[in-house]
């Protein structure tokens, strides 16, 4: 089941632009390792789920994974071969707005090699560049 909000104030929102780097959600809170975004992107709910599943499988469901992002922006799209006008299209799927420096996943409770391997695999599932960050406790 893909992530999506239970209810929203507005069914459709304007696109907007992704400016600057993340000032919130850019420090480790719970975990020892983190996967950090290096590029701005709109990340779909199914892409988040694919990365999460891959990470959990690589770690053999040991340790704990925190998802630090949530897709709360509706992405609307008009049907193919539709004439211009007649209003905005229906919401197609949900996206999370990702800024450079934002933490996407955090992991704790597994050793460094397994965590790095899992993070690398999860990063390969995502359509932008990522890096692995470590807490001060680990280094």
**In a domain? residue 55:** yes
Domain count, the chain: 1
- Does pTM surpass 0.85? yes
Kindly tell me if the per-residue pLDDT of 95 is higher than 80.
yes
**In a domain? residue 104:** yes
At 126, which CATH number?
A: 3.90.1170.10
Q: If you average pLDDT over residues 81-107, what whole number do you get?
A: 95
**In a domain? residue 2:** no
**Rounded-to-integer distance, Cα 128 and Cα 126, Å:** 6
Structural domain range at position 66: 33-76+94-134
Residue 90 half-sphere exposure, CB side, CA atoms within 13 Å? Answer: 4
Tell me the pLDDT of the chain averaged across its residues. Answer: 93
Q: Residues 39-92: pLDDT tens digits?
A: 999 999 999 999 999 999 999 989 999 999 999 999 999 999 999 999 999 999
* 22 within 8 A of 86, measured Cβ to Cβ: no
The percent helix, strand, coil of the chain (3-state, each to 5) is 20, 25, 55
Q: How confident is the model at residue 136 (pLDDT cuts 50, 70, 90)?
A: confident
**Rounded-to-integer distance, Cα 71 and Cα 77, Å:** 16
Which ranges in the chain belong to alpha helices (H)? 45-58, 112-125
**In a domain? residue 20:** no
First-to-last C-alpha distance (Å) of the chain: 36
**In a domain? residue 14:** no
């Amino acid at each position: 089941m893909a992530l999506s909000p239970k209810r929203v104030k507005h069914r459709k929102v304007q696109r907007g632009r992704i400016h600057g780097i993340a000032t919130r959600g850019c420090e480790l809170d719970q975990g020892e390792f983190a996967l950090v975004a290096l590029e701005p992107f709109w990340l779909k709910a199914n892409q988040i789920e694919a990365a999460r599943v891959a990470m959990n499988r690589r770690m053999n469901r040991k340790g704990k994974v925190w998802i630090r992002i949530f897709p709360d922006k509706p992405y609307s799209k008009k049907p193919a071969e539709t004439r211009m006008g007649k209003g905005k299209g229906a919401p197609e799927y949900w996206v999370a707005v990702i800024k450079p420096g934002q933490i996407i996943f955090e992991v704790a409770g597994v050793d460094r090699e397994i965590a790095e391997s899992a993070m690398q695999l999860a990063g390969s599932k995502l359509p932008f560049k990522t890096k692995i960050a470590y807490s001060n406790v680990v280094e």
